[in-house]
Structure 1
Amino acid sequence: MAKTLVPEARKGLSAFKNEVASELGVPFSDYNGNLTSKQCGSVGGEMVKRMVEQYESSIK
C-alpha cells in the first residue's frame, strides 16, 4: 500500500476527484467497483491534466 506523503491533502484531493468526476458525468461514490477502467482513468487523467496546467501557470 502506498504511503500518504501529505495526509492533510487527502480531503482536498477527494473533493477535487468528486468535482472532476461530476463534470465528466462519472458517478463516483463510496463503492466504485461498477465503474469501467475507462471511466476511472478519465477522471484521473483529467485531474493530472488540471494539476499540470495549474503548476505551469504558477511558474510563468
Structure 2
Amino acid sequence: MSNNSTGRLEVPEAKEALDRFKMEVADELGVPLTNGYNGNLTSYQNGSVGGYMVKKMIEAQEKQMSGKSGR
C-alpha cells in the first residue's frame, strides 16, 4: 500500500467546501485559524482541527450509511 499523503485533493471541486468546514471546526474548537499562514499556531492546535474534521466526516458517513439524516 502506497502512502498518498501528498496534500492533493481526490476531488478538487471540494476544496472550497473543505476550507469552509475547516474554518467552522476551528471556530468550534476555539482555534484562531486564518486563511493563509498559520505558523503561529501549535502543532496541537492544528492537529486538533484536522482530527476533529476527520471525526465529523466519519460520523456523517456512518449516518449516511445507516440511512439516518445527517442534519
Common fold: TM-score over 0.5: yes
Provide the aligned C-alpha RMSD in A.
Answer: 1.1
In structure 1, stretches of 5+ residues that fail to align are none
In the alignment, structure 1 residue 27 sits paired with structure 2 residue 32: yes
User: Runs (4+) of structure 1 moved beyond 3 Å?
Assistant: none
Q: Which of the pair has more CA radius of gyration?
A: 2
Please state whether the residue corresponding to 1:8 is helix, strand or coil. Answer: helix
Q: After the TM superposition, which residues 1-60 of structure 1 pair with which residues of structure 2 at under 5 Å, given as runs?
A: 1-29=6-34, 30-60=36-66
Please state whether the residue corresponding to 2:37 is helix, strand or coil. Answer: coil
CA distance in 2, matches of 1:3, 1:46: 20
Indicate how the Cα distance of structure 1 residues 52 and 37 shifts in structure 2: closer, same or farther if over 3 A, else same. Answer: same
Number of positions where the alignment pairs a residue of Structure 1 with one of Structure 2: 60
| Greater length-normalized contact order (CA 8 Å, ≥ 6 residues apart) | 1
Amino acid at match of 2:58: V
TM-score (norm 2): 0.78
Query: Following TM superposition, by how much is the alpha carbon of 1:54 offset from its aligned partner in structure 2, in angstroms?
Result: 0.4
